[in-house]
Amino acid sequence: MSNFRAVVGEGTAPLTSGTLLLVPGQNLRTGLREFRERYPGFTSLEEDLLTVASAIFACDVAFKRGEREEITRGIEIHLPVVNHAAFEAVRGELELLLWTLSDDNWTLVFHRTAGAPEAKQSWPQPAGATILFSGGVDSFVGATELLSERGVDAVQLASHITGNRITRQSQENLAAYLRGRFGDSLNRIAVRTGGTKKGDYSYPADADREETQRTRSFMFLAIAALAARRSGHKELVVIAENGQMAIHLPLSPARIGAFSTHTAHPEFVSRAAEFFSRVLDVQFTVRNPYLYSTKAEVVAKLPTPDRAPLSSSVSCWRGARVFSASNHCGECVPCLVRRIAFEFNGINIAEYKTDLFRKDVPSLPEDDEGKRNIVELASFAYEFATRSEAELAFRFPDIINPSFDQAQAIQMYRRFAGEAVTVLRRYSGPTKLLPDLPKKRAAAKKGGSK
């Protein structure tokens, strides 16, 4: 395990060799400026939480993971906070929350800094919902559904932006559509946070940074929770993420454990609700309305007239690194899941740098990443199309978790398997990866009767 250390503070802070210094307003964007523009009269607790969350996200990106058994990191961060007692009281919860999210060992050291802790306040209490608005398909569908059900005055969009131009433009385009659809009074807050090289203050260059960004959903939720508290949206802070990517079962044994992300996993969502409720002294309910829906089922919820903006959404893990006219690589797992969901619903968009579905996949080199992903996805679909629940629980132990219903999750993945097979069989290359499912199922039954 690789170990890293960071200190958040002024440029005069004493440092040990190898320690990353993060200075708010210099090489650490905390988002306070954008938050203050939207909500004047910020409190010390709001500033503290933005600093803590942005520092965690900046360190997650700055410290590159190793390979194989070195993928897990040990990260120690020293953080100055005015509301020292509030953060010290939840330090253990936060470290566990971050471990659940990123599979890294986090050590947070809070230091008391000058200032007045936030006084007890009475926040507004109108009914309403704040939804994380990422620029992806699911959050767009979730926002459209909420706005249709509750009206523009009862919904707030919360966005986290970075230097990623593709994602930022996607959010802007989809938000513009929603304003045209539901009215210019649509409430949205967009906050930029993260590390950046500035003057004498260093930060790793793009090529040296970690690409997974697993703590981004914590940063996202911090922005949403602060905005929800200001707006009185105590009822819920919404994460809209299809069940495939929320529960996120590893496609193969090679992706088990630290190799699989949990950015919207229900266990993380549950722990996040408890943490933000305690630290902000407001009872939040964080829910995912699409936990037991496939991505194709989420897309199907969108009325046909509202589907045109889907071309502006971004799902690709490499969106900012796809140097072409397309925003999608076409080879990563999110791209494959997106394409299956779209085409299952009759939506065909030429948006992929690599049209993997039209390649003769079996003939591709063994080290081709796209081949590996689609082969494992096809095998995953086969397993859920043919195996019993007991067999699936043995082969995919992550399906056993008290934070979600195992039977509903399995049924969701079975439906995905059917969707994947339906779409992949339309292409000669991917078809070669799919066994004859009815015959295989019959053979399995016959063998089990002996």
What are the pLDDT digits (tens) for 61-85?
999 998 777 789 999 999 999 999 9
Q: What is the CA radius of gyration of the chain?
A: 22
Burial class (CB in 10 A: 0-12, 13-18, 19+), 316: buried
Number of other residues whose CB lies within 10 A of the CB of residue 71: 16
For CATH 3.40.50.620, list the domain ranges present in the chain. 129-198+211-287
Mean per-residue pLDDT, 160-172: 91
- Max CA pair span of the chain: 76
pLDDT at residue 400 is higher than 80: yes
CA atoms within 13 A on the CB side of 169: 8
Q: Give CA–CA dist 332/212, Å, rounded.
A: 13
**Average pLDDT across the chain, whole number:** 90
Whether the model pTM is above 0.85: yes
Give the fold, CATH level 3, of 129-198+211-287. Answer: Rossmann fold (3.40.50)
Q: What is the per-residue pLDDT for 256?
A: 54
Q: Which residue carries 């906050």 as its tokens? A: 191
Q: Give CA–CA dist 144/449, Å, rounded.
A: 50
